[in-house]
Amino acid sequence: MTAGSDEKCTSEVLAAHADALIGRPEATQRIDVTDEERVQMAPLFELAGQLKQSMEPVQPAAAFVHSLGKELARTARHQLTATRRMRRGVLIGAATVGSLVSIASVVGAIIFVVSRQRARSHAQTL
C-alpha cells in the first residue's frame, strides 16, 4: 500500500471509532484492521476516548443557528444569481458570435458573387 492509502485507511478507521464513541456501535463493524494495525492505533483510540470523556457536547445558541441559516441562504441566493448572470452572458456572447459569423458569411458570399461577375465581364471584354 502507498502512504496515501495508509493514511486514508487510518482516517476511516479513526472515523469509525469516533462514530462508535458517540453512540453508533454499528460503525465498529467497518473497522477492518489487522492486530498489528490495531496495536499501532491503540494510542489514538485511547486519546479519542479521553477526549470524549473530557469534552461535553455543546449546543449552539438559537440566535447563532438562525443567523447562520440566514447567511447560508443569502450566500446560496448570491451564488445562484451569479450563476444565472454568467449563463446569460455566455448565451448572449454565443448569440453575438453566431450572428457575426452569419453576417461575415453573407458578406463573403456577396464579395464572391460580385468578384465572379466582374471576372466574367472582364473576360468577355477581352
92-109 pLDDT tens trace: 999 999 999 999 999 999
What residues does each domain of the chain span?
Answer: 3-54, 72-126
Grid coordinates of 125:
471584354
The crossing angle, in degrees rounded to 10, of helices 3-21 and 35-54 is 40
In this prediction, residue 5 carries a pLDDT of: 57
Residue 8, pLDDT score: 64
Q: What is the pLDDT of residue 40?
A: 87
Mean pLDDT of 12-41: 79
Q: Please state the rounded mean pLDDT for residues 14-34.
A: 76
pLDDT over 60 at 4, yes or no: no
The yes-or-no verdict on residue 34 having pLDDT over 50 is yes
Q: What is the DSSP string of the chain?
A: --HHHHHHHHHHHHHHHHHHHTT-GGGGGG----HHHHHHHHHHHHHHHHHHHH----PPPHHHHHHHHHHHHHHHHHHHHHHHHHHHHHHHHHHHHHHHHHHHHHHHHHHHHHHHHHHHHHHHH-
Percent of the chain residues topping a pLDDT of 90: 48
In this model, does residue 33 exceed pLDDT 80?
no
